[in-house]
Structure 1
Amino acid sequence: MTSTGPAPWLLLVAAAHLGFQLTVDLVVYPALREAPDDAWDEAHARHSRRIAPLVALLYVPLVLLLGWTVAVEPRAEGTWLAVAGGALAVVTTAALAAPMHGRLSSAPARERPDLLRALGRVDRIRTVGAAVCLVGAALLAV
């Protein structure tokens, strides 16, 4: 590993991404589930406004670093483990979590618990992806 290559940066961003995912999974979504029906619309809107910049702040560098890593370390096992985990998290976010949030913003109160449970399951997939990405990044850093 060199300080000029992507490995230390990928390790840093992958660790931040896993911390973010764990916070969402263990703190943010449980708090959303506890929002009373009469406060739901505002709670979900505040969450959406606040989380979007953080997602961009983490996912853009993550994707760029994964691309850089593939370009300079294509034969390293850690590269492909990090790419697999990162791709799982990013694709799951785009294909499942974001659309679920869209449905949650307009779902009737009776449908919300099922959607929130489904979102929790999807978030665990994203968290596993972030963990796998971090393991790959750690392998590259040694």
Structure 2
Amino acid sequence: MTALVAFALASALHAGFQATVTVLVYPVLGDRGPDEWRLAHARHSRAITPLVVVVYGAIVVSGAVLVLSGPGLLGWLALAAVAGALGMTAAAAAPTHGRLTDRDDALVTRLLAADRWRCAFAVAGAVLALAALAAEG
């Protein structure tokens, strides 16, 4: 398996995961009221953490291998898009999650907005990785 194939598979997994979170998981979490928030947020965090470790681990490792292999332009663009998703996670989504011990409408709105951006970046990364594969083959 080439580095680009591994990255394309990981980026497709990442995009699917992120789209599921954006379309299904966060809207349900965001609809929780103040009386349900702590328990729902804690359950969400515990349940999703192992999946985040696997998905993000795959995208980071395969991305590093792709960088070392010297990708073409589309590969670099795919890496940049995925880096955008990871950057949104590190700069906005994760810190906001950390601050959401109690329901705070402004923080929930910020989390949902950051999540939409990282979903867009993740999907763009997958599309670009698949385009890189098509151009290579």
TM-score, L = length of structure 1: 0.88
Cα distance in structure 2, aligned partners of 1:139 and 1:68 = 18
Cα distance in structure 2, aligned partners of 1:77 and 1:46 = 41
Aligned residues: 134
Displacement of 1:49 in angstroms is 0.6
Preserved contact between residue 8 and residue 141 of structure 1 (Cα < 8 Å): yes
Mapping of residues 1-142 of structure 1, within 5 Å: 4-74=1-71, 76-105=72-101, 107=102, 109=103, 112-142=104-134
Deviations, residues 26-72 of structure 1 (Å, cap 9, x unaligned)? 11111012213222110000001111111111111101111111211
Cα distance in structure 2, aligned partners of 1:136 and 1:7 = 11
Cα distance in structure 1, aligned partners of 2:64 and 2:92 = 23
Displacement of 1:139 in angstroms is 2.0
- In the TM superposition, structure 1's runs of 4+ consecutive aligned residues that sit over 2 Å from their partners are none
Displacement of 1:90 in angstroms is 0.9
Preserved contact between residue 81 and residue 132 of structure 1 (Cα < 8 Å): no
Q: Output the aligned Cα RMSD.
A: 1.3
Preserved contact between residue 21 and residue 127 of structure 1 (Cα < 8 Å): yes
Name the SS of the counterpart of 1:35 in structure 2.
Answer: coil
* Higher share of residues assigned helix: 2
Displacement of 1:95 in angstroms is 1.6
TM-score, L = length of structure 2: 0.91
Preserved contact between residue 63 and residue 86 of structure 1 (Cα < 8 Å): no
Cα distance in structure 1, aligned partners of 2:110 and 2:126 = 25
Cα distance in structure 1, aligned partners of 2:106 and 2:23 = 18
Displacement of 1:10 in angstroms is 1.4
Cα distance in structure 1, aligned partners of 2:39 and 2:114 = 23
